[in-house]
């Protein structure tokens, strides 16, 4: 990676910015499996700003994966802006496969915003492009499944996701096989089949770990923590959250998985009646979400976890367990609002937060608060 970073840095200071732009475009989403999503976003944004506007095809191929990474980081408004931009650039570039790819990402993001008409139009156009690659056609299927679920057609969505899982497995594409299971589990949870969601997540998690899919493994664990809270398995939820916090905090300090996991811990401690600890953890999570630019959409609109990202294991506020937790947290006046990112380092033993630059009262209360 050091050689790649060096080449990209060099390209920005030389006349070879186009070569650097094509390199970033070819890297695409590869930042994510390495656990470097935030670095990928920053580098893509830098080249997007530096490239000449006449380079329509390159800008399309750069904007599209960037929109995807921003969506995964729950920066949804910027993701929609770039997905819209990618479609326009792809049309100007006159390349059918690039347009099909841009349309599927545009459709998927619009599903999240509830813009089903726009999503349907984009999917119909993308599905009609004859020279779209086999990979993009599978991605169009994924967006179609998401749209089906948004329209209330849960059985259709589940069936498509199972088809996608089998097709990706036959192609040896383990990354997208895991993604198919992850999203299907979210759907099962949201329609009340939480035990099924837990089983699916536990089944696929070892594969993500074997393939060193750090970002996907983090998403699976964050979701699993949420599902286990909903199933009233609080010790299991704590264990899943710790599994996220340790490796992610040591690798990339502004990783959203850490804030998601901390927020699940806040919910666990609220349900256990440890309200002071819960409110402090929620303050940490809220600060991180603000700094990471999270937009609380999708299932977050009705979620107990106000900082959850999209469908990440969130619980509906009308379920008894989350409604009770919401009441408990709302009764507290202790929740801090630190102005700095609240995750610095997590010790390997006990995952105790070692904070830097936080208000004094938070430093005093910090020691041992993550211990079970």
What H or E segment, with its residue span, contains residue 197? Answer: helix 194-210
Separation CA 73–CA 121 (nearest Å): 25
Asked whether residue 60 carries a pLDDT value surpassing 50, the answer given is yes
Report pLDDT digits (tens) over 73-88. Answer: 778 889 999 999 999 9
Least confident of 116-120, 140-144, 324-328, 350-354: 350-354
Mean pLDDT of the chain: 75
Separation CA 30–CA 37 (nearest Å): 9
Q: What angle do CA 242, 244, 247 make, to 5 degrees?
A: 100
Report pLDDT digits (tens) over 17-41. Answer: 888 888 888 888 888 777 788 888 9
The confidence score (pLDDT) of residue 264 equals 87
What H or E segment, with its residue span, contains residue 345? Answer: strand 345-346
Residue 297 pLDDT level (bands cut at 50, 70, 90): very low
Asked whether residue 316 carries a pLDDT value surpassing 90, the answer given is no
Residue 233, SS3 per DSSP: coil
Separation CA 131–CA 137 (nearest Å): 10
Neighbour tally for 329: CB within 10 Å:
21
The confidence score (pLDDT) of residue 357 equals 27
Residue 265's contacts (CB-CB under 8 Å, 6 or more residues apart) are 237, 238, 241, 281, 370
The confidence score (pLDDT) of residue 294 equals 64
Answer for the pair 27, 62: CB distance below 8 angstroms, yes or no.
no
Answer for the pair 244, 370: CB distance below 8 angstroms, yes or no.
no
Residue located via tokens 């379920």: 319
Separation CA 111–CA 148 (nearest Å): 10
């Amino acid at each position: 990676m050091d050689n790649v970073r060096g080449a990209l840095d060099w390209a920005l200071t030389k006349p070879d910015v186009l070569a650097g732009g094509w390199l970033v475009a070819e890297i695409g989403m590869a930042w994510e499996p390495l656990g470097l999503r935030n670095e990928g976003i920053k580098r893509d944004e830098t080249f997007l700003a530096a490239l000449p506007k006449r380079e329509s095809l390159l800008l399309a191929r750069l904007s599209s994966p960037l929109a995807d990474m921003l969506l995964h980081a729950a920066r949804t408004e910027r993701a929609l802006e770039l997905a819209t931009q990618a479609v326009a650039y792809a049309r100007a570039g006159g390349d059918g496969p690039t347009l099909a790819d841009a349309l599927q990402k545009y459709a998927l993001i619009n599903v999240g915003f509830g813009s089903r008409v726009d999503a349907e139009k984009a999917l119909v156009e993308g599905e009609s492009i004859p020279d779209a690659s086999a990979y993009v056609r599978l991605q169009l299927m994924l967006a179609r499944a998401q749209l089906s679920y948004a329209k209330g057609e849960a059985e259709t969505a589940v069936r498509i996701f199972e088809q996608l899982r089998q097709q990706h497995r036959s192609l040896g594409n383990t990354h997208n096989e895991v993604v198919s299971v992850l999203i299907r589990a979210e759907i099962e949870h949201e329609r009340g089949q939480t035990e099924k969601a837990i089983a699916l997540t536990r089944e696929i998690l070892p594969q993500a770990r074997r393939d060193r899919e750090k970002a996907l493994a983090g998403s699976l664990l964050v979701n699993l923590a949420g599902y286990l809270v909903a199933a009233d398995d609080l010790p299991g939820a704590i264990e899943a959250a710790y599994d996220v916090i340790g490796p992610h905090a040591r690798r990339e300090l502004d990783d959203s998985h850490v804030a998601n996991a901390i927020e699940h811990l806040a919910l666990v401690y609220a349900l256990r009646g440890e309200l002071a600890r819960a409110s402090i953890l929620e303050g940490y999570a809220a600060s991180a979400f603000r700094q990471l630019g999270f937009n609380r959409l999708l299932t977050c609109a009705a979620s107990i976890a106000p900082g959850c990202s999209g469908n990440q294991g969130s619980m509906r506020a009308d379920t008894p367990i989350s409604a009770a937790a919401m009441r408990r947290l709302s009764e507290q006046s202790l929740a801090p609002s630190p102005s700095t990112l609240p995750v610095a380092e997590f010790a390997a033993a006990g995952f105790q937060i070692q904070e830097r630059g936080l208000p004094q009262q938070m430093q005093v209360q910090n020691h041992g608060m993550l211990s079970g």
